Structure 1
Amino acid sequence: MTGFDRARWLALLLPLGLLGGAYASQYIGGLYPCEMCWWQRWPHFAALPLALAAFVASGQGLRKTLVLLAALAILTSGLIGGYHAGVEYGWWEGITTCSSTVAPGSGKEVLDAILNAPLIRCDIAPWTLFGISLAGYNFLISTFGAFAIFGLLRKGAQA
């Protein structure tokens, strides 16, 4: 397997795994995402089709560009995760409003949804392992993963 093949698989499996973990923690673990958690998911959503397209696109240059764009999206998620972790640890102030998702409906349904929705704060880590929050893990995994992809692409370019 070439460095490019490894980069392409990493660009696909990394966001897939991290999104799977995020949804598992939400739907199985009951850890509802705050607004900043959602910000971290969007770049991974963008990375997935880019990485998938790198498997079916014609032309090595286009495939490498798609993997590079996926890696940039993964890095973006990691940097947002680093910012979010800093907010959770109190290193700097984040957004000053809390968020909750409410589906549109009738006035009474919306009011009931608002009153019954969990209030999710961005400045409190709902879960940690070894003192690192989920946002912190996203920062570490996404950032180092993106740099691994960049390195594999560069190694492939020199070969």
Structure 2
Amino acid sequence: MTRFRTLVLLAAGGSLALLLGAFFFQYVMGLAPCKLCIWQRWPHVIAVLVGAAALTLGNRALAWLGALAAATTGGFGIYHAGVEKGWWDGPSTCTSTSPAGMSADDFFDKVINAPLIRCDEVAWSMMGLSMASWNAVIAFALALIWIRAAVATR
């Protein structure tokens, strides 16, 4: 097996493993994903599909697209981790915000219509890092593997 194929299998396989892990937490552990969690999944899907295409076609240029997909989900992971830590606001549809400036009726409507899964709460963590943080760390490592694949010599 060529170095290129090995690196693509490792990078795309890493994205597939992260997706399967997310589905495990969702369907086996009962941790429903929030909006930002879902956003982080799509680039992994793209990376897996790009990996399949790169292996089938042997096209090294596709590895750059895989790197972009991995870096994108890593960026989403950093954004989500920052929302969880309160460093910045997340989407108003899945985070709690201050009622300052809201009328009582608007505040009541916001509470009643609030989503069940919040983006600004950590559902699970390991070694002090949330799932979003782990996604970012691993995704950026996968992006580096994709880049190695793109520049790998035959």
Q: TM-score range by the shorter chain?
A: 0.7 to 0.9
Deviations 1:33-90 (A, max 9, x none): 0000000001111111111011211xx5xx1112221221111111101110111011
Deviations 1:112-131 (A, max 9, x none): xxx9xx70000001011111
Percent identity over the alignment is 43
What code does the residue aligned with 1:48 have?
Answer: V
User: In the TM superposition, what is the alpha-carbon distance from 1:11 to its structure 2 partner?
Assistant: 2.7
> Is 1:52 paired with 2:52?
yes
Secondary structure of the corresponding residue to residue 95 of structure 1? coil
The answer to whether the 8 Å contact 2:63/2:149 transfers is no
Structure 2 partner of 1:111: none
The answer to whether the 8 Å contact 1:7/1:67 transfers is no
Runs of 4+ that moved beyond 6 A? none
Q: What CA distance in whole angstroms lies between the structure 2 residues aligned with 1:132 and 1:12?
A: 23
What code does the residue aligned with 2:150 have?
Answer: L
Deviations 1:102-159 (A, max 9, x none): xxxxxxxxxxxxx9xx7000000101111100000000000111112213432x14x7
Structure 1 partner of 2:146: 149
State the TM-score, normalized to the length of structure 1.
0.78
Q: Which runs of 5+ in 2 are unaligned?
A: 96-111
User: In the TM superposition, what is the alpha-carbon distance from 1:5 to its structure 2 partner?
Assistant: 2.0
What code does the residue aligned with 2:40 have?
Answer: Q
User: In the TM superposition, what is the alpha-carbon distance from 1:10 to its structure 2 partner?
Assistant: 1.9
* Equivalent in 74, 78, 82 of residue 70 of structure 2: 74
Structure 1 partner of 2:102: none
The answer to whether the 8 Å contact 2:80/2:119 transfers is yes
Give runs of aligned pairs for residues 8-157 of structure 1, distance below 5 A.
8-57=8-57, 60=58, 63-98=59-94, 119-154=116-151, 156-157=152-153
Secondary structure of the corresponding residue to residue 144 of structure 1? helix
Structure 1 partner of 2:106: none
Q: What CA distance in whole angstroms lies between the structure 2 residues aligned with 1:25 and 1:149?
A: 26
Q: Which runs of 5+ in 1 are unaligned?
A: 100-114
The answer to whether the 8 Å contact 1:15/1:48 transfers is yes
Q: RMSD in angstroms over aligned alpha carbons?
A: 2.0
The answer to whether the 8 Å contact 2:81/2:130 transfers is yes
State the TM-score, normalized to the length of structure 2.
0.81
